[in-house]
């Protein structure tokens, strides 16, 4: 890892598609994280046409949040515009996106590397002229058939999968202070660790048999009734 990769993030980008018809789809996992991080930081998004997206400026934290409104395959247009304007280096960018090759409920934090066929990453790298930026990958699982990928990412997750994805986002938000200070090693160890499987519920104990009476029966006759 280069020295530049040890800088704290100045820009957090969530990838997704704009519009209510896409808001609950798997491809919008990056948006979900950014929306909740904005709530956590107490800031609101506003539309910035010059940056082709929704922007929130958490000045106290020294962080800007961006949700491109250009659709996924043109995400880099928004990211490049904002990064150039504020002179943010690629290594100071944390990109949050859905990941087919990671199961629901798991996260992967990495710097640079391949793009895995993700159109949002491809366009981002094209506009930044590098792959060297941080990525937080939120697992959504794979449909098992590459021909079903487009249909899969543009649909909502099943209820049990969505629960796991939400729990993963929860863990990422809990790790935000570590990410914000640029302690990437600690953040990677924390986020890339697979969560422990839930313990199976304990089987209920069988009720104890009723204790037999130890009082001897009274066989004496009441002489007053003779």
Active site residues: 27
94 contact partners, CB below 8 Å, separation of at least 6? 9, 11, 12, 13, 133, 134, 135, 136, 179
Can you tell me the distance from the alpha carbon of 27 to that of 99, in angstroms, rounded to the nearest whole number? 9
Place of tokens 């066929």: 117
Can you tell me the distance from the alpha carbon of 194 to that of 107, in angstroms, rounded to the nearest whole number? 8
Query: How many CB atoms are closer than 10 A to CB 8?
Result: 15
- For 118, the enclosing helix (H) or strand (E) is none
φ/ψ (deg, to 5) at 162 = -60, -35
Place of tokens 């506003």: 46
């Amino acid at each position: 890892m280069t020295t530049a990769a040890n800088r704290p993030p100045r820009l957090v980008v969530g990838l997704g598609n704009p519009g209510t018809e896409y808001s609950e789809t798997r491809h919008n996992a990056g948006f979900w994280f950014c929306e909740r991080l904005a709530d956590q930081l107490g800031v609101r998004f506003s539309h910035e046409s010059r940056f082709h997206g929704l922007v929130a400026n958490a000045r106290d934290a020294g962080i800007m949040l961006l949700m491109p409104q250009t659709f996924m395959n043109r995400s880099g247009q928004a990211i490049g515009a904002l990064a150039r304007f504020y002179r943010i280096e690629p290594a100071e960018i944390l990109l949050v996106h859905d990941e087919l090759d990671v199961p629901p409920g798991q996260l992967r934090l990495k710097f640079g590397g391949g793009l895995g066929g993700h159109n949002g990453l491809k366009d981002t790298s094209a506009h930044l002229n590098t792959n060297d930026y941080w990525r937080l990958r939120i697992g959504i699982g794979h449909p098992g058939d590459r021909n079903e990928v487009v249909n899969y990412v543009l649909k909502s997750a099943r209820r049990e999968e969505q629960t796991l994805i939400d729990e993963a986002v929860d863990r990422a938000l809990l790790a935000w202070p570590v990410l914000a200070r640029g302690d990437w090693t600690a953040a990677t160890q924390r986020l890339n660790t697979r969560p422990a499987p839930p313990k199976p519920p304990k089987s209920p104990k069988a009720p104890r048999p009723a204790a037999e009476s130890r009082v001897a029966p009274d066989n004496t006759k009441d002489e007053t009734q003779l």
